[in-house]
Chain A
Amino acid sequence: MKIDCSGMYYRKLNKIIRDAAEAGESEFILDHVNGQRYIGSGINKKIKITINGVPGNDLAMFMNGPSITVNANAQDGIANTMNAGEIIVHGDAGDVIGYGMRGGKIYIKGNVGYRTGIHMKEYKKKVPVIIAGGVACDFCAEYMAGGILVLLGLEKGGDMPITGDYLGTGMHGGVVYIRGGVDENMLGKEVSVLELDEKDLKILKKHLAEFCEHFGFDLEEVMSKPFVKLLPVSSRPYGNLYAY
């Protein structure tokens, strides 16, 4: 199904998508998207949505299954509390990517904003993955409780460091992989930097292979630079604050 979204209010657009998906339509191509919010939000079917243009905030919020490709930049709040599905952004993305996300994948070709992967969690087989080809801003992986977050720093904007301040503050689960290492001044006090083991490399390679395929990067080149991993020092960073 092809939809011309120029000048269309988000409520109408999302209703068309929801109703058509309910009726069995499985593929959507949205042209001239320009800031419409909540695309793909709350959809429980494995539909495919291709977005030509810049989608608005809360793309794929509460989403459970669909696969979304954005052929432009994306805005704030992608995959907020997402359960399952896949989002591929051929550009940069805004703030709060994957907040509280507990399943599915987000692949961003370029840079990401503030609070990426904040409070991301995992449950049994649901292990969410966020990979950003560029750099991240402050508070990345804050309160992270599970899942995998990868920063590659391939497309640095000038001399920007790969991450902003307070990386992994309050982190108590999951893992962050960073290509080329990270300045320890940037870290929150709840995380420590470790070297990768065989298992890490296997997991990383699997996800990066997919990432490179989407955006045409060379996997070997991406893997040629050494990675470090960030793990929480404690699974209970706030365990001894109280008197009972």
Chain B
Amino acid sequence: MISEIPPEFIVKIDYEQCKRCKRCVMNCSFGCMQFKDRVIPDHKKCVACQRCVTFCPESAITITKNELSYKENANWTPEIRQNILKQAETGGMILSGMGNPRAYQILWDHLLIDACQVTNPSIDPLREPMELRTFIGRKPERLEFSADENGEIELATELGPQIKLDIPVVFAAMSYGAISLNAHKALVMAAKQSGTLMNTGEGGLHKDLYSYADNIIVQVASGRFGVHSEYLNTCVMVEIKIGQGAKPGIGGHLPGEKVGEEISKTRMIPVGTDAISPAPHHDIYSIEDLSQLIYAIKETTDYTKPVSVKISAVHNVAAIASGIVRAGADIVTIDGFRGGTGAAPMVIRDNVGIPIEVALAAVDQRLRDEGIRNNASILCAGGIRTSADMAKAIALGADAVVIGTAALVAMGCRVCQKCYTGNCAWGIATQKPELVRRLDPLVASERLSNLLRAWDLELKEILGSLGVNSIESLRGSRERLRGIGLDEMTLKILGVKPAGVGQ
């Protein structure tokens, strides 16, 4: 069938500027640029990944939206019509990459942070120490101390395993398979440099990364790819993945084309076979079953690693989180509906789940109400874009936040949302050696470390203006937030007062 889908973008080449160096032809991984005496773009193939634009030495390329492709209609948007055409041509589910791009209300942008004026002094973070250090893991109900003969006081309470983060941000679970080995290397090097963690995702851990165990979270998902006792012990935390914000309640599927020699070794499956992660874990059909897996992991790691359970933010998230904590998890990771993915059916990504802001507030409140908040740390994922989002999340009750898309963008991602094609022009979401080579792990890790340093500085400024010198003083302090343009019920769920109301 000949495709009738009009091109989404128009590639304009300024032939007066173009020196015919063919760099754009070499750089385009989607086969859009051809050279016949001069560069001829095939507009239909362009995904607006901006690779050619960035690398054209003459700045002779511009990519614009194809405004003429569909007649204007507020109801039948170009996206909807394009998807119908695609489905009419293929009969398949529309696949998509990255997080939910729809214009749902972003609650972070309706929350404002307090500051000190006159009566309570603010603190200058340039001159005074600011504490961002965060410990993740189960905290005891009370602390007991003992004194020895010399009067030296010692902690008598036995603490479970704790993970020290220098900054309350960890990198999100992105599997080797969804992203390239160079991207994994960049993440783990940056995590080490910045005193935080990266997460293997569900694709196992490549041997080259074993030496970074102190900065790694290993994931156990329903496919159990690359999971064995050595893997479970090459980390500081084990995460059981139940759900992902971009695709709550559905499984994953790495197509056989992406399973080359190295992926095959890491996932421990034959080259070229599909890696199918079932929707549920087939040994978990209840909270009791979840508890069984949590303790199986604790037995296997001799109780030295905290165990996290990651769920997507869904309607009943607070009750589910309570069950997870009671099942023995040391950490609950909640992933909101704007969280990213390498591949998900668009209908799921764009319509299923709830925003992380309300989910986080509901979970934190529920665990407090039940008196079990200390039993687990909360990691907040799925839609953290800036240090301000991070500060607001921590004020709503998160112990730390998780960034995936922000980290990819720092590495060079242009959010073209074509991760599932395996053609990533930036060497991130691809396994093609000629494309993977484009991402220099050293450069990318430096970019990631820079991002974290910038957020570290910004977060300290926020704390200073709030008049506190430790992130602990902001954690769960919803009094320091005010809502703007939010309805009463949403304000109630978030536990914040509207802007304009004093103490």
Which parts of B187-231 form the interface with A (CB within 8 Å)?
222-224, 227-230
Given known contacts A121-B268, A239-B274, A244 and B95 CB-to-CB distance under 8 angstroms: yes
Q: With A and B bound together, what is the CA distance between A14 and B298 in angstroms?
A: 11
**Most chain-A Cβ atoms within 10 A of its Cβ — which of B223, B228, B264, B283?**
B283
Q: With A and B bound together, what is the CA distance between A98 and B458 in angstroms?
A: 50
Q: Quick check: is B292 within 8 A (CB to CB) of the other chain?
A: yes
Residue among A62, A63, A76 making CB contact with B227, cutoff 8 Å: A62
Choose, from B20-28, B84-92, B351-359, B376-384, the stretch at the interface: B84-92
Closest to B231 in A: A62
| B296 engages A61 (CB within 8 Å) | yes
Q: How far is the CB of A202 from chain B (nearest CB, A)?
A: 21
Q: How far is the CB of A240 from chain B (nearest CB, A)?
A: 7
| A37 engages B93 (CB within 8 Å) | no
| B95 engages A64 (CB within 8 Å) | no
Choose, from B31-39, B160-168, B299-307, B469-477, the stretch at the interface: B299-307
| A64 engages B228 (CB within 8 Å) | yes
Choose, from A38-46, A47-55, A151-159, the stretch at the interface: A38-46
Q: Mark B109-140, 1 if CB is under 8 A from A, else 0.
A: 00000000000000000000000000000000
Q: How far is the CB of A49 from chain B (nearest CB, A)?
A: 15
Q: Quick check: is A119 within 8 A (CB to CB) of the other chain?
A: yes
Which parts of B297-325 form the interface with A (CB within 8 Å)?
299-302
Number of B residues contacting the other chain (C-beta, 8 Å)? 40
Complex contacts, B90 vs chain A, CB 8 Å: 243-244
| B292 engages A62 (CB within 8 Å) | no
**Most chain-A Cβ atoms within 10 A of its Cβ — which of B229, B232, B264, B274?**
B229
| B228 engages A81 (CB within 8 Å) | yes
Q: How far is the CB of B251 from chain A (nearest CB, A)?
A: 9
| B345 engages A62 (CB within 8 Å) | no
Q: Mark A72-111, 1 if CB is under 8 A from B, else 0.
A: 0000110011010000000000001001101000000000
Complex contacts, A37 vs chain B, CB 8 Å: 292, 295-296
| A99 engages B282 (CB within 8 Å) | yes
Q: How far is the CB of B500 from chain A (nearest CB, A)?
A: 49
| A100 engages B227 (CB within 8 Å) | yes
Q: Quick check: is A214 within 8 A (CB to CB) of the other chain?
A: no
| B274 engages A100 (CB within 8 Å) | no
Instruction: Give the bracket for the number of chain A residues in contact with chain B.
Output: 35 or more
Complex contacts, B94 vs chain A, CB 8 Å: 242-243
| A143 engages B292 (CB within 8 Å) | no
Q: Mark B60-97, 1 if CB is under 8 A from A, else 0.
A: 00000000000000000000000000110111111100
Given known contacts A121-B268, A243-B94, A42 and B301 CB-to-CB distance under 8 angstroms: yes
| B274 engages A236 (CB within 8 Å) | yes
Complex contacts, A238 vs chain B, CB 8 Å: 253, 274, 276
Q: How far is the CB of A197 from chain B (nearest CB, A)?
A: 21
Closest to A102 in B: B268
Given known contacts A64-B228, A77-B283, A244-B421, A38 and B268 CB-to-CB distance under 8 angstroms: no
Q: Quick check: is A172 within 8 A (CB to CB) of the other chain?
A: yes
Interface residues of B (CB under 8 A from A): 86-87, 89-95, 222-224, 227-230, 232, 253, 255-256, 264, 268-270, 273-274, 276, 278, 282-283, 292, 295-296, 299-302, 345, 420-421
Other than A119-B278, A243-B95, give 4 A-B pairs with Cβ distance below 8 A: A37-B292, A44-B229, A100-B223, A239-B274
Interface residues of A (CB under 8 A from B): 10-11, 14, 18, 37-38, 41-44, 57-58, 61-64, 76-77, 80-81, 83, 96, 99-100, 102, 115, 118-119, 121-124, 126, 142-143, 145-146, 170, 172-173, 235-236, 238-244
A-B residue pairs, 9 tightest by C-beta: A42-B300, A100-B224, A243-B92, A243-B90, A123-B268, A242-B95, A42-B229, A38-B299, A242-B92
- Identify 10 residue pairs between A and B in the complex whose beta-carbon atoms are under 8 Å apart, listed by A's number: A37-B296, A38-B296, A42-B299, A44-B230, A102-B268, A145-B276, A241-B92, A243-B86, A243-B89, A244-B421
